[in-house]
Amino acid sequence: MQLIESGGTGAKYMFCNRILSAVRWRQAVCALFLTLLLFSARAEAAEVIVIGDTRLAPVVDIISGIRETLETPVKVYSPSGVKDRLKDIAEREDAKVVVALGREALDEALRLPSSIPVIYDLVIAPPAVTRANTTGFYMATPVREYAAIVRKYLPSIRRIAVVGSANMIRTVEGEDDPQVIPHRVKTSFELVEAVKKLDAPDAILLLPDVWLLTSSALEEIYLYSFRRGVPVLGISERSVKEGALLALVFDPVSVGRHIGEGASSAIRGVDLGQIPPSPPRKFELYINRSTAKKMKIHVSAELLKKAKKTYP
């Protein structure tokens, strides 16, 4: 203050002018910084958010299929990364669609406002969802796919006993196939007992359910299968390794493409709630040739060519 006074009026004016210039310069820098931040946020924003655990191979493959199909930006979050804050993330990203891969991801997505379309996958059976603007895909291979491949390539198998929980058996209802005989069970113990009491089926198809298909239950069923010479139709590559005759397993990249198509429709304004959940459309075939040989089941060269992998 003493220096200003000693310089007179001119010095005061020059000093004030310098202060104003510095303030304006700082304001300009701040404005530029904020502009860059906003531009960066917009550039990184994603119209489609995918929630999934990328440590799992099917999640990675599904995301690959989604990105193949969509031209719009896609951003991936882990289920733990969005827990209790998905709504804020969706608003920040200005997300037009949220894809939930797995039950944990779906539970978070179902809490979003219905204005945001949700597509789910990596659930075994279609869940009971009352939220509007929601649809999805489920992993369980339709029984009709097994029946079709058996009719065409394995004519010695005429009757398929399908065993599963009430929820899974509901996916069979309405198919009206005389070749398929459904059996409902509630526990893994009931599952084993039901299989042992089956009325001479030509094959057994176990519908996927983690609560029923315990390792001990499957071990008993495979032993029964080989003693009676009745093949088990599996639900995974692992089940074929363990002794199932064959399995039809969903193709995750193909599922990702279908999810991408659904997301594109939602971005165009289609109400996803009007689209019913659906099973996969493309499957990979695995065959256990040793099981076929032990049970004297002829597997044609044509069917073997269709297999992604065969086990000797």
Of 16-25, 28-37, 248-257, the one with minimum mean pLDDT is 28-37
pLDDT in tens, 57-90: 999 999 999 999 998 899 999 999 999 999 999 9
Q: What does residue 72 show for φ and ψ, rounded to 5 degrees?
A: -80, 155
Owner of token pair 């709630």: 273
pLDDT at 2: 38
Q: What is the DSSP string of 162-211?
A: EEE-HHHHTTTTT---TTEEEEE-SSHHHHHHHHHT--S-SEEEEPP-TT
Nearest CA among 41, 58, 59, 42 for reference residue 50: 59
Separation in Å, CA 26 to CA 12, 15, 22, 97 = 21, 17, 6, 40
- Residue 280 near residue 264, CB atoms below 8 Å: no
Q: With a cut of 60, say whether residue 37 has pLDDT above it.
A: no
For residue 205, what are the β-bridge partners? 162, 233
pLDDT at 170: 84
Nearest CA among 218, 224, 262 for reference residue 240: 218
pLDDT in tens, 243-289: 999 999 999 999 999 999 999 999 999 999 999 999 999 999 999 99
The stretches of 45-130 forming alpha helices (DSSP H) are 57-69, 79-82, 86-93, 103-109
pLDDT in tens, 87-102: 999 999 999 999 999 9
Q: Do domains 48-139+252-274 and 143-250+283-311 have the same CATH topology?
A: yes
Spatial distance between the Cα atoms of 247 and 233, rounded to a whole number of angstroms: 6
- Extents of the domains making up the chain: 1-44, 48-139+252-274, 143-250+283-311
- In CATH terms, the superfamily for domain 48-139+252-274 is Response regulator (3.40.50.2300)
Nearest CA among 258, 312, 231, 246 for reference residue 284: 246
Over residues 151-170, mean pLDDT: 93
- Torsion sign (Cα): 169, 170, 172, 175: positive
Of 19-23, 58-62, 196-200, 268-272, the one with minimum mean pLDDT is 19-23
Global pTM? 0.80
Classified as helix, coil or strand, 29 is helix
- CA torsion, points 210, 260, 96, 271, in degrees to nearest 10? -80
CATH class for the region spanning 143-250+283-311: alpha beta
At 26, the pLDDT band (50, 70, 90 cuts) reads low
Spatial distance between the Cα atoms of 171 and 162, rounded to a whole number of angstroms: 11
Hey, what are 285's tokens? 């075939």
